[in-house]
Structure 1
Amino acid sequence: MGGGPAGLAAARALLRQGITPVVLERRGWPIDKVCGEGIMPVGVAALSRLGVDPGGSPLPGIDYVEGSLRAGADFAEGPGRVVRRTELSAALLCSAELVDHCRVLDARRSGDWMEIDSTRGHWRCRLLVAADGLHSPTRRMLGLQGRTNGWWQRWGWRQHFAVRPWNRRVEVHYAKGCEAYVSPAGPDTVGVAVLSQAGLRRHNWLSAFPELSERLHSPVSQLAGYGPLWQRSRSVHEPGVVLLGDAAGYLDACTGEGLSLAFAQAEALGRQWKPGTERTRLPDYVRTHADIVGHYYTVTWGALWLSRWPWLRRGVLRTLRDHPALFQRLLSANQGLLAPHAPLLELFLRVPPQLVAGWLGRSLPTAGERSR
C-alpha cells in the first residue's frame, strides 16, 4: 500500500521475481511530496538495477555553509541526481496493477491472509507491503506504531524558484535551530527545503536565512510543509506484513538518505519473498533491514547533535574544510559504503584543536581590546 517511490520500487523489485503486485495509492500519479529531492549515488545505482533512469540534474557533492565558513566535497562514487518528485514518480511507474485515488479503510489479519478494505474495493493477499509514508495509516491500523521523543522532532518546508543554480552541489546553510538545503533542480530552477526544530511557519519559513532569501524570487511551486519527521515502528516485519521506506521508521531528512534507503529495502524484499500458501514470513528481512538503515541512524544522530550545538558544529565545519578527503569518506559512510566508525573517530580526534583555535580567535581580540 502506497504508490510513492518506496511502493513503486517494491513493485518493480517484485515484478523482476515474476510476481505481479497490486499498488493502492490514495492520490493520483505522478505524486509530489515535500523532499529535498536529492538521490545519493548509491540510490542512483539501485534505480539502475530496477530499470529506472530518473533523469534530473547531476549532483556531484555537498557544501556546508555557515556565515563565511564553507566546507565541501564531491562524492567518491560519482554524482548522484536531483530529481523533482513528480518526475521520479513518473519514471518509477511500472506494469504492476496500479489503483489510484484509493483510500484504505481497514487492514487486518484473517487466518493466513491479510485483508484490506478500501474505497475502491476489497483485497486479500499473503503479504501486505506498507509503503504509505512517514505517517503510515497502515502502521497504525496494524498496531505497529512506535513512540518517539518530542524533543527531537523537526518539520520541513519546500518550494522551487525560477533561479539559475549558482552551485552544482547541494548547499546546506546553517542558522539557529534550522538548516536550508538548496538543490540544483534544473538549468533554471533551484529547490529549497528548510528543516526546523520549531518556530518557522508558512509566513516566515525562510526568515532565518536573509542572504539566501534575497537570491530567491519567482516561485514555481507551492510552498508545502511536512512533519513531524521522527517516526518509529515496533517492528518492520510480522507474518503477512512488511513496513518499507518511511513507513518502517524515520529519524530526520538532514543526511538526504531517505530515497536510497527505500530503494535498498525494496531490493531486499524482492530477493527474499518467495510466494507460498501461508501468510508470508521473511526470516531474514528484519536483520537485513537493520543492516540497511544502521549507518543512517548513526550519521543522522550525529548531524542532529550538530544542529543543536553551534559551537561544536563550527569546529566540525572547519575540520571538514581543512580535510576534504575525510569529508569525502564521511559522505561514503553516510551511504553505507563505508563503516562510519573510523571516519567519525578521525573527525572527533581532529575537532578539538579546531575548537581551541576558534576559542582563541574570539578571546585574543577581546583581550587586546582590554589591554588598550
Structure 2
Amino acid sequence: MKKIAIFHWEDLSQKHVSSVGLYIKNFLDNKSKFYQFSYFGCNGRGATCQLKYRKKVFGLLPISFQFFFDLLKKRKKFLGLDAVWFHQIYYASTLLWLKNRPKIFLTIHGRRGSHTFPFRKNALKSWLVKIAERMAVSLCDKIFLLNLPDLNYYHKHYRSYRKKFIYTPNFYQKNTFFPRNKLRVKKAIGFSGKVIFIYTGRLALSKQICLSLKIFAKYNQKNSASVFLIIGSGERENKLKNLTKKFNLEKKVIFFPWMSQNDLAKFYQASDIFLSCSLFEGMSLSMLEAMACKVPVVALFSPELKELIIDNKNGFLFDFKRESIEKVVQKIEELVASKEMPESTYKFVRQFSSRQAMPAILKLFD
C-alpha cells in the first residue's frame, strides 16, 4: 500500500472548508486497498498568517516560513512515505531542503502564473511568486492541473518540464449531489412556486456579486416570483446586504451562512439557475455540484470555464463587452423556460463525477 501525505494550510475539522479542502477530504475518505492518505497542515495558521501579512511586501515569505517550520517539526514523519502531495505552489517549494525526500506531487487549483498569489498587481510580489513557481516546477515529480488553459500555460512557459504536467479535471461527490423532484424540494425548503437563482462561495470582491445582484434585479422586474439565494460568507457580506436594501430586494435576496454538504445539495436541487460574475475561476466545484443537480450555469466569461460551460447545452457564458444586462436576462429567461436544459446539463456533468475521476487520479500516484 502506497503511503501519501497531503499538505495544506486548512484545519479540515472545521464546519466549513474551502473547495480545495473539500477536494482533499474526498481523498482522505477514500477506502482504497492500494493507497493510504494522511493529512498534515498548519491547522489554520497558514490562513491567519496570510491575513496578518496581507499588506506587507514580503507577505509570501511568512506563510512559506510558517509551513517550513511545521515541516521541520514533522520531518520524521516523512520516513516511510511514498509521496507528499501539495496543493499550493509556494508550499511545495519549501521541501527543497530535504535530501532523501519522497516523490512530490502538486495540484494547481486554477490559478496559474502570477495568479498564484493574490497580490498579482505588485511587481515585486509577482516576481517572488514566479521564483516559487519555478522552484516548485523543477522540484515536483508530477503536477496535476484542473483545467486545460492552465495546462496550455505551463506547457508554453515550461517546455522542458512538459511531461510533468497532467490534466486531471475537478470532480463532485456523486453520492451527495444528484437531482431530485424540483417542485417537491422547493416546497420542502419554503420556496414553492419561485424561480430560484443561487450562488455559493466566498463573498469576496473578485466574485463581483454586486453585478449578479444587478442582473437578478433586472430579471425580477419582469418575473416577480423569483428569489436569489446567496450561500457563503466573506468581507463583502455587509456591503452586499446594503446593496440589496438599495435595490429594494430584502425579501427577494436571502443570505445563508455556510452549511453542510447535504443541506447545500437540497438548495441546489431546488434551484433553477446558478449565477456567477466571478472575475476568474478554476474548474469551479460549486458549478459542478449545481449542474449535478440539473441546474444550468450562467457565468461571466473566463478562459477556464470554456470547457465547463457550453452555450445552449448546460448554461451560458456572457461578456459585458458583447452583451448588455438586458441580453443576459433574456438568455436566463430562455434557460428557465427550457425543459431540455436541466437534463442536458446533467448528462454533460456526469463525466466529472467522483466515481469516474478518482480512480483515474489515483493511478497517477504509481
Per the normalisation by structure 1, the TM-score is 0.34
Greater RCO, 1 or 2 (C-alpha within 8 Å, sep 6+): 1
Per the normalisation by structure 2, the TM-score is 0.34
Higher share in strand:
1
Higher share in helix:
2
